[in-house]
Amino acid sequence: MTGRLADAAAIVGLGQTEFSKAAGRSETQLAAEAIVSALADAGLPVSAVDGLVSYTIDPVEEIELVRSIGAPLLRWSSRAPYGGGGSQGVLLHAAAAVAAGVADVVVAYRAVKARSGARFGRAEVSGRATSSHAGTTAGQWCAPYGVLTPASWMSLDATRYMHVSGATSEDFGRAVVQMRAYAAANPNAHFAGRPITLADHQASRWIAEPCIRLFDCCQETDGAVALVITGADRAADSRAPVAVAAAAGAGVFEEEIASNHYRPDLSVMDSSVALAGQLFGAGGVARDEIDVAMIYDAFSPILLMQLESLGFCARGEAKDFVADGNLGPGGLLPCNTNGGLIGEGYIHGLNLTGEAVRQLRGESSNQVDGATTALVTASRTGVVLRRG
Amino acid sequence: MTAPPRRPPPVLTDDNEGFWTAARDGRLVVQRCRGCGARHHPPRPMCPECHSVDLGWEEAAGTGVVYSYALLHHPTHPAFEYPVVAALVDLDEGVRLVTNVVGVDPHEVAIGMPVEVAFEPTADGFAVPVFGRRGGG
């Protein structure tokens, strides 16, 4: 068993709304708009849709969505666990569904009002010990100590990572400067036209000292992204298919998304190590085939940690990999060319998948010449996509 | 008259209440399997080592070292003073706690710092284990 699903499915449609600070309409409407747009891009009628897949921490009720888009018959639906960490799991779920023959046309989506609605980054005390499959149950052990937000949860891992690797806030800042440079050239990005310098990064205020400054954080954003997935055999009929060359997910013992601090070595993202084993293991994709990567950058430290845990550089060397310009144009691993979650916005990770599709179609604002293979990861879930 | 504690109380469940009720009484306990002796934190209903459901609570020495920390500046919650000194403490018994380091200049907190337990009251009459520098100072 490889733990990956290879070459079974393709992304045949991509749709999204505008990204903004205040969408002025419901998440259900945003999702419906993105799905209709993705189906138009795919050249498929809504009557063809028979599968839906989302991931947890989703305010959109499937039944309300179906009422709005008018899909006449749903054969299958699911939600991948772990919130944004599960964002690439939608492709494993969708590919598995079409490979198993339980659905022919699956729509994957995420709509958020992370800016104008319920913000992740607000300090609130939950009265519940569980998290409805969001993967943050260990947050119950954090709340009495004022550790209330994703940044605060992640900061405990990030400080340890700095201690072990020698990475500094400036090292994180160099990655952020690159994300903001890409975002500056992306008209859909929250930070379109607004690049920063390392000095700007270092002048931004502490969120969690000594690891996370304001500019290290993703931009909570309103908007939606949708993808249409079919079997590989049907993909040739569409305008610009992108093959799901490999899809995998990995959850390891004693690890949640960000609020679980009980693994022996928090400077390593164990689930990313496992994920890389599945995607890049025997018979899988070779790392040097990856032309462009989208790596979940909710906070800049986890971008560097994933570079190491995914095996793109050795332990403790991500700071040098970044400083050498490898995430930028012409580097070894151009990364988050939409500006990432830090620069384009936080559509809970699914906008990274959208950017990978654009790269493989040759339609990115920061196009990597000749990109044919793209990696998208969200710590524990990931896909390799290939130009169709 | 002293203002009542504002720190939010823990949320009790069937699986965690032994830890928090002990803390309310000023005792730091660690879950221990009566079958194989393994210690676990956070507590859980079944021992993952031997699948025993006969789990009890053992009083900890209350000493450990800081595994990691962060000074939380923003966003703020009215129950806390900022920066909040968030920390992970590895107890001598081999389990790790999320906690606060108290009574120390926040900028003196460091990985590897020896600490010992203290207790701080919460709203609703509970208390939670926190840690100060071991040996005073």
B100 touching A (Cβ < 8 Å): yes
**Chain centroid to CA A19:** 16
The ipTM is 0.97
What confidence score (pLDDT) does residue A256 get?
63
Q: Examine residue A182 and state whether it is found in any structural domain, yes or no.
A: no
Of B7, B16, B86, nearest to A147 by CB-CB distance is B86
Which residue does chain A place closest to B15, by CA atoms?
Answer: A129
> Which whole-number Å values give the CA distances from A47 to A31, A44, A102, A375, in the listed order?
17, 8, 16, 31
> What distance in Å separates residue A159's CA from the closest CA in chain B?
6
Short-list A183, A102, A94, A175, CA closest to A385? A94
Q: Helix A300-309 vs helix A270-280: angle between axes, to the nearest 10 degrees? A: 50
- Whether A239 is in a domain gets the answer yes
pLDDT at position A254 is 64
Residue A286: inside a domain: yes
B16 touches chain A (CB under 8 A): yes
Higher pLDDT, A112 or A124: A112
* A74 touches B: beta carbon within 8 Å: no
Residues in chain B within 8 Å Cβ distance of A211? 70
Sorted by sequence, the CB contacts under 8 Å of residue B37 that are 6+ apart come out as none
In A, which residues are within 8 Å of B72 by CB distance? Answer: 146-147, 152, 155, 207-208
Give per-residue pLDDT as tens, A13-55. 999 999 999 999 999 999 999 999 999 999 999 999 999 999 9
pLDDT digits (tens, 9 = 90+) for A251-286: 776 666 666 799 999 999 999 999 999 999 989 999
The amino acid at A241: P
Query: Is A198 part of any domain?
Result: no
Taking chain A, what is the end-to-end CA distance rounded to the nearest angstrom? 26
- Note whether residue A144 is domain-resident: no
pLDDT band at A120 (very low <50, low <70, confident <90, very high): confident
pLDDT > 80? residue A191: yes
**Residues A28, A60 contacting (CB under 8 angstroms):** yes
Question: CB-based burial of residue B104 (10 Å sphere; 0-12 exposed, 13-18 middle, 19+ buried)?
Answer: middle
What is the pLDDT, as a whole number, of residue A117?
A: 83
Mean pLDDT of chain A: 94
pLDDT greater than 90 at residue B107: yes
- pLDDT above 70 for A132: no
Instruction: Say yes or no: B83 contacts chain A, CB-CB below 8 A.
Output: yes
**A179 within a domain of the structure (yes/no):** no
Handedness of CA B44, B48, B51, B54 (dihedral sign): negative
pLDDT by residue (tens digit) across B12-68? Answer: 999 999 999 999 999 999 999 999 999 999 999 999 999 999 999 999 999 999 999
Q: How confident is the model at residue A119 (pLDDT cuts 50, 70, 90)?
A: confident
Between CA A372 and CA A274 the distance in angstroms is 24
Q: Is B99 touching A (CB cutoff 8 A)?
A: yes
Dist CA B77 CA B70 (whole Å): 16
B129 backbone dihedrals φ, ψ, rounded to 5°: -70, 130
Kindly tell me the number of DSSP H helices and DSSP E strands found in chain B: 1, 8
| Percent of chain A residues topping a pLDDT of 70 | 96
Which two three-digit tokens encode residue A160? Answer: 């340890």
Which residues, 6 or more positions from A171, have their beta carbon under 8 angstroms from its beta carbon?
Answer: A304, A318, A319, A322, A323
Which helix H or strand E contains B87, and what residues bound it? strand B84-91
CATH of the domain at A54: 3.40.47.10
Give residue A234's domain range: 4-117+218-387
Cα separation, A295 vs A292, in Å, equals 10
In this predicted structure, the answer to whether residue A215 has a pLDDT above a threshold of 80 is: yes
Tell me if A262 and B41 make a contact (CB, 8 A cut-off).
Answer: yes
Q: Check residue A356 and give left, alpha or beta (phi > 0: left; psi -120 to 50: alpha).
A: alpha
Query: Residue A344 domain-assigned?
Result: yes
* Set of chain B residues whose Cβ sits within 8 Å of the Cβ of A157: 68
Q: Would the CB atoms of A146 and B69 count as touching at under 8 Å?
A: no
Domain membership of residue A59 (yes or no) is yes
Please list every residue in chain A whose beta carbon sits closer than 8 Å to the beta carbon of residue B111: 159-160, 163
> What pTM was computed for the model?
0.96
Q: Is A137 a residue whose pLDDT tops 80?
A: no
Please tell me the distance in Å from B1's CA to the nearest CA on chain A: 24
In the predicted model, what is the mean pLDDT of residues A313-328?
A: 98
Which candidate from B7, B69, B74 shows the least CB-CB separation from A207? Answer: B74
CB contact under 8 A, B76 and A123: yes
Number of domains in chain A: 1
Of A129-138, A224-233, A322-331, B48-57, the one with minimum mean pLDDT is A129-138
Catalytic residues of A: 296, 346
* 3-state class (DSSP) for residue B86: strand
SS3 state at B101: strand
Read off the pLDDT of residues A54-73 as tens digits, 9 standing for 90 and up. 998 898 999 999 999 999 99
Judge whether B109 and B102 are in contact, CB under 8 Å: no
Count contacts between A and B (CB, < 8 Å). 117
Contact A184, A192 (CB under 8 A): yes
Q: How far apart are CA A348 and CA A153, in angstroms?
A: 17
Distance from CA of B135 to the nearest CA of A (A): 23
- Rounded to whole angstroms, what are the CA distances from A266 to A34, A79, A127, B68, B115? 37, 27, 27, 9, 20
Spatial CA neighbour of A54 closest among A30, A84, A20: A84
Rounded CA separation A51/A26 (Å): 22
- Write out chain A residues lying below 8 Å of B69, CB-based: 156, 159
